[in-house]
Structure 1
Amino acid sequence: MPTLFTRIIDGEIPGRFVWADDRAVVLLTIAPITDGHALVIPRAEVEQLTDAPDDLLAHLMSVAATIGRAQRSAWDAPRAALLVAGFEIPHLHLHVLPAWDESSLSFEHARHDVPAAALDAAAERLRDALRAAGHGAHVPTDASSPEV
């Protein structure tokens, strides 16, 4: 049975995509800890971090660093944080988010009431930062599709 993320990647469930390549996609979470909180997800259904082959992990980390740089630029954040948990969905994903301090890096601070318009605006802000940094080839032309 496909995971929730596979269903989003396949277009069965909507997502706010900001990055796509042949191995990974990045979309905004619907429960952000901070504005611009994104998920780096492999297209392949890998259950958790320790199950992923090293070359896939290297690719995901490279994408996460690119996303983090764009987040820092877009939100003027001093850091980009990376969290890996994966308890809620059995499909590897890296949480990348603009960060101002360590105390806010807890899923307890996830906001579940962010209006769709605010999530859309954050996604567009991140896509703009990625384009400005020269990564337009990986920014989906249709924000609801993981294709470039």
Structure 2
Amino acid sequence: MPSIFTRIVNGEIPCYKIAEDDNFLAFLDVNPNANGHTLCVPKQEIDKIFDIEDDLYLGLMQFSKRIATALEKTVPCKRIGMAVIGLEVPHAHVHLIPLNEMGEMTFKHKVSLTKEEFETLAKDIQANL
């Protein structure tokens, strides 16, 4: 059965898309640790980050860096944190989280946004790409 991220990549589940290319997709996390929490995923469903073929892995890191740069220009923060956990969804992904305090990286601190806030945020980040 396809992962939820594969279903998002395939357009079966909507997302607040930030960017995509032939190999990767970036979208806002709908259960964010902080305003702007973004996920970068390879379009190819691969369970574990270190099972990704080297060129695709490096491409994911370059793609994530591009998104993080735009995110930092958009969301006021001290820096963009990056995490790869991989336990909750069996599809490799990178979390990019705007940080003002360490608690925002614990995955216990969550914020709520409206649909309109998600849509506006996605457009604002896209404008900084």
Aligned match of 1:37 = 37
Question: % of aligned pairs identical?
Answer: 31
Offset at residue 85 of structure 1 (A): 0.7
Range that drifts further, 66-75 or 97-106: 97-106
Q: TM-score, normalising length from structure 1?
A: 0.82
Aligned counterparts of 1:82 and 1:37: Cα–Cα separation in 2: 10
Does residue 121 in structure 1 map to residue 120 in structure 2? yes
One-letter code aligned to 1:11: G
Asked if the contact 1:40/1:94 (under 8 Å) is kept, the reply is yes
Match for residue 70 of structure 1? 70
Q: Matched residues in 1 for 2:100 and 2:53: separation?
A: 32
> What residue is the counterpart of 2:25 in the other structure?
25
Query: One-letter code of the match for 1:44?
Result: Q
Q: What CA deviation, in whole Å up to 9, does each residue of 1:18-52 have, x standing for no partner? A: 11111101011101111111100000010011211
Give the match's secondary structure for 1:108: coil
Deviation of 1:84 after TM superposition, in Å, equals 0.7
Task: Report how many aligned residue pairs link the two structures.
Answer: 129
- Partners of 2:110 and 2:51 in 1: how far apart? 26
1:112-139 superposed Cα distances (whole Å, 9 cap, x missing partner): x422111112111111111xxxxxxxxx
Task: State the distance in 1 between where 2:114 and 2:40 align.
Answer: 22
Gaps of 5+ in 2: none
Aligned positions of 1:1-148 closer than 5 A: 1-111=1-111, 113-130=112-129
Task: Tell me how large the CA RMSD over aligned residues is.
Answer: 1.2
**Quick check: 2:26–2:40 contact (8 Å CA) kept in 1?**
yes
Kindly report structure 1 stretches of 4+ aligned residues shifted beyond 6 Å. none
